[in-house]
């Protein structure tokens, strides 16, 4: 059913459809940012496609990608013929795709959420404000370079030394993911979530902040070394093949 949509778009836009895929039955087309609004409007207005149901618009951050850091995806469906399709475009940091809020009213808040979480602005949007976070918030938390443990409290936290809590509440309350010993967790030795609970039950000792940082750094370095080794292996293979 959705293949018909892809064919129709190919007929309409030709070379402007950069790429198509149908992994696991999910049909997807990729377009350039400049064609973003045109393709969406065609989907909505075309007598054959009639994509009248806006499902979602969101973004994905690929910080390692040099050319265009973000993918913005639009998922939609036709209530007339049941077709479902996803449109994707690659956006540079600071680049502004056109707004779709004039086509589907539902895109208004979805685009505000993308601005809030990823810092992608949409050109000609009627109300480009944060939607979930507060105006005082600095940065965009779903960017992968946003520090995982960085909170920005609106009220300064109380600092009173007489607060004494029993485990599992205390200094390491909550689930400090950075302090979890992922190596042993992955090896199946440790399923505890909270370090304090782990210590209480004698499962393992708690990692201090500096130890956790060292471990994370070591893991990053090991992964980079492994990837470099794999890359050099591949190039040597290619060289011998030719």
Give me the residues that bind another protein (CB under 8 A), please: 133-134, 141, 146, 148-155, 157-158, 160, 162-166, 168-169, 173-177, 193
Q: How far is the CB of 201 from another protein (least distance, A)?
A: 13
Nearer to another protein, 68 or 178 (CB): 178
Rounded to whole angstroms, the Cα distance separating 12 from 123 reads 24
Q: How far is the CB of 204 from another protein (least distance, A)?
A: 19
Question: What is each CA distance from 13 to 3, 7, 32, 72, 99, in whole angstroms?
Answer: 15, 10, 12, 19, 20
Nearest CA-CA partner of 6 in 26, 24, 32, 35: 26
Q: How far is the CB of 215 from another protein (least distance, A)?
A: 18
Distance spanning both ends of the chain, measured CA to CA: 43
Rounded to whole angstroms, the Cα distance separating 126 from 149 reads 33
Nearer to another protein, 15 or 159 (CB): 159
Nearer to another protein, 79 or 200 (CB): 200
Q: How far is the CB of 84 from another protein (least distance, A)?
A: 31
Nearer to another protein, 137 or 233 (CB): 137
Rounded to whole angstroms, the Cα distance separating 66 from 201 reads 46
Q: How far is the CB of 134 from another protein (least distance, A)?
A: 5
Q: Which residue in the block uniquely carries the two structure tokens 């973003």?
A: 36
Nearer to another protein, 35 or 116 (CB): 116
Nearer to another protein, 24 or 157 (CB): 157
Nearer to another protein, 124 or 211 (CB): 211
Nearest CA-CA partner of 54 in 63, 64, 68, 44: 44
Considering all CA atoms of the chain, what is the largest pairwise distance in Å, rounded to the nearest integer?
A: 72
Rounded to whole angstroms, the Cα distance separating 52 from 18 reads 24
76 in Cβ contact with 19 (< 8 Å): no
**Number of other CB atoms surrounding residue 87 within 10 Å:** 24
Q: How far is the CB of 151 from another protein (least distance, A)?
A: 5
Q: How far is the CB of 158 from another protein (least distance, A)?
A: 6
Could you give phi then psi for residue 28, rounded to 5 degrees? -145, 140
């Amino acid at each position: 059913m959705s293949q018909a949509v892809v064919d129709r778009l190919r007929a309409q836009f030709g070379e402007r459809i950069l790429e198509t895929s149908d992994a696991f039955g999910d049909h997807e087309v990729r377009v350039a940012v400049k064609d973003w609004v045109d393709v969406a409007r065609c989907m909505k207005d075309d007598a054959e496609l009639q994509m009248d149901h806006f499902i979602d618009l969101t973004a994905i951050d690929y910080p390692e990608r040099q050319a265009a850091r973000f993918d913005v995806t639009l998922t939609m469906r036709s209530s007339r013929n049941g077709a479902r399709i996803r449109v994707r475009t690659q956006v540079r940091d600071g680049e502004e795709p056109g707004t779709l809020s004039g086509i589907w009213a539902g895109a208004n808040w979805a685009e505000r959420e993308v601005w809030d979480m990823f810092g992608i602005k949409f050109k000609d949007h009627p109300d480009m404000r944060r939607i979930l976070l507060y105006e005082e918030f600095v940065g965009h938390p779903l960017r992968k370079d946003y520090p995982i443990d960085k909170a920005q409290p609106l009220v300064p936290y109380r600092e009173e030394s007489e607060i004494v809590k029993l485990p599992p509440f205390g200094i390491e309350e909550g689930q400090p993911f950075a302090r979890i010993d992922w190596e042993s967790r992955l090896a199946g030795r440790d399923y505890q979530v909270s370090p304090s609970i782990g210590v209480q039950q004698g499962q393992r000792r708690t990692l201090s902040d500096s130890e956790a940082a060292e471990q994370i750094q070591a893991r990053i370095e090991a992964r980079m070394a492994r990837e470099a080794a794999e890359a050099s292996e591949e190039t040597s293979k290619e060289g011998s093949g030719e």
